[in-house]
Structure 1
Amino acid sequence: MFNLRFYPLLLALAAVTPALAQKPAKLTYTQDDPKRIYEAVEQPAVPKGGPAAYAEYLQSHQKYPTAALQAKQEGTVQVSFVVERNGTVDEVKVVQPVAPLLDAEAIRVIKAAPKWTPAHNHGQTVRQHVTVPVSFVLAPGSGEAVEIPAAGSPAPGRPLPPGAVAAAPGTSSVVGTAANGAAIIRPEKSAQPVGGNAAFFSWIAANQKYPDLARKRHIQAKVPVEFTVQPDGSLTDVRVIQKHGSGLDEEAVRLIKAAPKWEPATYQGKPIKQKMTLPVIFQL
């Protein structure tokens, strides 16, 4: 009778015990498709060194196309690309173009940039679509102002070129009159290096002497230099617009002064002088 009385209870305990002994189920995720490109993830891809360092890299390694400078082209190019699971960038393309030369340079500098830390989603490394703005900003006076000496300026009573305005004392205007009374106009043909832009920048690269102090400090920079292309093609009035120190400014000035002559700007078929601004790139 004893065994019969407790037999149902023993059966009940036997049925409950396995359930109590089970471990809590773990939350698992299905394996993500390795080819899938994500727009939003738990941990987005980030540039090595952080966004600020990446922005500095883009700015310091940007090579403003000479023709774009002369054409006064500037703006922000939106570039999209895919950060792969190994941190490299792929499928680089312009989604908001500005000008062909600037678009091409934006793509170049993005492709040449250091690797990224890839994105992570559900604990897995994944591919992510990223869009980055690359800005091109002209320095004041880049390829704009051409000053006609007083002897060649318009005769008294003759109107200045369209849009001309008198400049305030001590200043000048892109199209107008300088403080000394000389006319400032836009050239019919801008000054350009003999042999073209590629030949000029190749000469700069071949003749550049990287300052020892800058090399020791591992300093890289883009030094903007303003100069005047004279009617005979010589380069004068060379000065650095934004100084970087460590010998880079002096070397940038030396290079421009020693550079081969340019083809001068022309107005009404005659050579005239033109102010230009170009960056001298220092890269280790």
Structure 2
Amino acid sequence: MRTLRDVKGLRSVVAGWKRAGQSVGVVPTMGALHEGHLSLVAAAKAGTDRVIATVFVNPMQFNNAEDLAKYPRTEDRDAAMLMEAGVDLLFAPAPEVVYPDGFATTVGVSGLSTDLEGTFRPGHFDGVATVVTKLLMMTGADRAYFGEKDWQQLQIVRRLVRDLNIPATITGCATRREADGLAMSSRNLRLSAEERAVAPALHNAMAAAAAAIRGGAPVPAALATARDAVVAAGFAEVEYLELREAEGLAPLDRLDRPARLLAAAWLGPVRLIDNIAVAP
């Protein structure tokens, strides 16, 4: 596995692969890798001839300087994991490579980014959309792989690729979970032992709500019960727990089309998100 930090070198390698008729997949990450990321690498290896993984803690998508400072940075460990997983190239640029002096362009996706995560993390998705656009253009990848755990993000990336005519196929991969149901996340590393024991309550409450809704329970009542269960388990706050249209994310008060149950809640100093598919 090669490690590159400059765009010119990256493009040179990719151009060589493409001259040889090879397809290229990219797995964008912010590092602190876990099995969920490696499942994306496995999907990329199955779907393309060459695989690039990116490790870049994107300052533009953090609206809290303290959160950015605390985000785990484990590049040596990440590189070893990616090499073991069979990645061909690790692209790990410095912030000034991605955002050089005088950088003044932002990519925003209207509508999809305005509520749910957008309500509680203003500007976050502009940062995500901007860096994803840059990474797709820098790598020239044919396919990009994203986890379904960040469902709203996945829909935003799909929309920006369509709207901007970026020649890359976006592939969503199923959320990887711990044995107790907790969605794998780099932020889980910040949970204390006591908080980690409580954390699966979010998924459990969501699964119960999804089952109730599929069984015909009124949506508002099922969601209220789930929110109460999460707080009773020890979470400090539920920012949202809502049923939304799967692709367009419009609010739903009844299950009459493919939907997604999405939630965000605070457990100690850590904000956890999750989502579950709910089909009629």
Shorter-chain TM-score bucket reads under 0.3
By percentage of residues, which structure has more strand?
A: 1
Q: Compare the two structures and name the one with the higher helix fraction.
A: 2
